[in-house]
Structure 1
């Protein structure tokens, strides 16, 4: 004890030191408790989710029949799977599917055993591999117009192309599609300059049919339903880009008709975006062909003068609507284009595209890769 410090003051100092030690211990214990609690919650949550994603019964290989109607969304599909006893938790399945960016589930009849893993269930629902053999299939390739799809329908069914076109241009049927798929088939299809309201809304894929004679309405709705499913899978990104489903399908259709490779799609998408940002017309040949209403091997200078809303040489921005159906590759490129400064591109005789940032560089590419004097530059 310092002789200069009174006894009572010394005692008070000792008391304060004890209090500080007690406070430090309390803070330390509380901090440790909070950390331990966070760890316990995190570990518990991890095991809860992990357990929810395990097969319901690894030893039970007896398949359960599951019907997923056309138009089913992720919420209803998840609940159906839980109700049927093939997944443990509908909410965990839904969030896991979203986290893995899996969507585009195929409607149909499935036979899934409780022993199947969640990842395998997702894969099955995406590929549409059903347990029974379909009566027949219809394959709709990418890049087809409605009229071309009608020809494909005529080859695979008893319905004629004329009957198909009558249905897809029917106001009654279009109204039904709007009612069933309001977020996809919107009033945007009613634009006065649009040639066919459902152009681009029939998703290209291979479709299984399990009845020998489905109605034409059932066939076409299946195509529209799949487009709706695809749109939903891109919905968060579309909202971020402030792009409507109609604009998305329109842009994607241009890429589908222009590009020959995935890398081309992404780069061409950047060219289109750059041109629109600078107020330049897109000047894409497929829109001219669509405006002309016929296929040609080469687009000539005189063709560029056609007065039509779809002619992107005469009109800036996107055409009124899609000019064909677009597949996943073109859709992916639309929402995730390359980052470039390109404003021009030209295809050589082999179909390979050559890109340029300036008109002068573009002219050099034209001179180098395009030799035909009567073709458009």
Structure 2
């Protein structure tokens, strides 16, 4: 060995890519790429999460009923094809710390993202329905119209339209025009109609009933019969007087309208056999008033029952033009039948 090189240190070349600093740089780049991918995936997922598919047309609505939860509502909008998951709205609701649901029907047209849907359900205006219930409707007829025009289940209504003994609130659901939340709470409808009845019933109702030896409910049965028997307000007080006169004489009322509450007629008429139909509502067989009102009377019929005219009539007949004609004796009544139901006027 050359003496000049004997004590020189040995020099070796480093292997590229193996330095600790280089390894750290490579790892950082990999982490950065993964984070970027994760951020992109998260952003894509979030966009997909908050996106909704707009719905249009007559079915572009969602009903929120009193018993609904955010979970059931989330599933409902998913079923409409609006959201990406049955839980999407529920998750978003939690993220936004949403409060309680408000019942009603909400129109969904024009909504394009989850925030718009959320704001509609939290602070938007639900649809309302304006419904008119004609005088003389029964509770079952009220229920059917409510379902048809206000989206409130007839079955739900019939469950709550009852008193403490479970009897239908026949006679006490005042016929009028109301505005309700569409697909709202049936109990709220009942409360509104009962409240309206309490507002309009004559103030001397109980006193007038007592003067005739009746309860308030019995007087209401009279009003309901007057409602179904008389077409014109001018006839109602005299129709009420006939009912009271017959009750006082313990005569059978013999009214088709009471039987009609449980047995449909044939264009207003019954066969002889049907007049023997066994029911407490058949006043051809059973003395006194029917066991309940037979409809929900209007104000004119309530007033007629409370303040019936004094008369000596015991019979009445509805003429073809709808006006009533009255008689004191059965012979007079028979002549009226012959005259007005045989082509007379």
TM-score in terms of structure 2 length? 0.58
Partner of 2:153: 160
Structure 1 residues 230 and 241: CA distance shift in structure 2, 3 A: farther
8 Å Cα contact 2:242/2:315 also seen in 1 = yes
Alpha-carbon offset, residue 232 of structure 1: 6.5
Q: Does the aligned pair in 1 maintain the 2:226–2:240 contact within 8 Å? A: yes
String of CA shifts for 1:146-181, please: whole Å, max 9, x gaps.
111111101222222233223325xxxx33xxxxxx
- Secondary structure in 1 aligned to 2:303? helix
Deviation, 1:199, is 1.4
Alpha-carbon separation, structure 2, partners of 1:240 and 1:338? 14
Where in structure 1 do 4 or more consecutive aligned residues deviate above 4 Å? 239-242
DSSP-derived class of the 1:326 partner: coil
Tell me the matched-pair count: 215
Counterpart secondary structure, 1:324: coil
Taking the aligned partners of 2:312 and 2:130, their CA distance within structure 1 comes to: 44
Q: How far, CA to CA, are the matches of 2:130 and 2:265 in structure 1?
A: 27
CA shift digits 1:295-341 (9 cap, x unpaired): 53132222211110011111111100100000110011001111111
Query: SS of the counterpart of 1:257?
Result: helix
1:342 positional shift:
0.8
Match 1:224 to one of 166, 174, 194: 194
What is the Cα deviation at residue 287 of structure 1?
0.6
Distance 1:361 1:275 in 2: 16
Query: Which residue of 267, 284, 289 maps to 1:297?
Result: 267
SS in structure 1 of the partner of residue 273 of structure 2: helix
- How far residue 344 of structure 1 moved from its aligned partner, in angstroms, is 1.0
- Structure 2 residue aligned with 1:113: none
Name the SS of the counterpart of 2:130 in structure 1: strand
SS in 1 for 2:284: coil
- Pairwise CA RMSD of aligned residues? 2.2
Q: Which runs of 5+ in 1 are unaligned?
A: 1-133, 176-188, 191-195, 373-377
Distance 1:148 1:338, change over 3 A: same
Task: Note if 1:252 corresponds to 2:227.
Answer: no
Query: Equivalent of 1:314, from 285, 288, 293?
Result: 285
1:258-297 correspondence runs (5 A): 258-292=229-263, 294-297=264-267
- Paired residue for 2:214? 243
**Consecutive unaligned residues in structure 2, runs of 5 or more:** 1-126
Check whether the contact 1:344–1:362 (CA below 8 A) recurs between aligned residues.
yes
**Higher alpha-carbon Rg:** 2
Instruction: Considering fraction of residues, name the structure with more helix.
Output: 1
For the residues of structure 1 that align with 2:182 and 2:322, how far apart are their CA atoms? 41
Paired with 1:253 and 1:296, the residues of 2 have a C-alpha distance of 21
In structure 1, what is the equivalent of residue 301 of structure 2? 330
SS in 2 for 1:346: strand
Aligned to 1:115: none
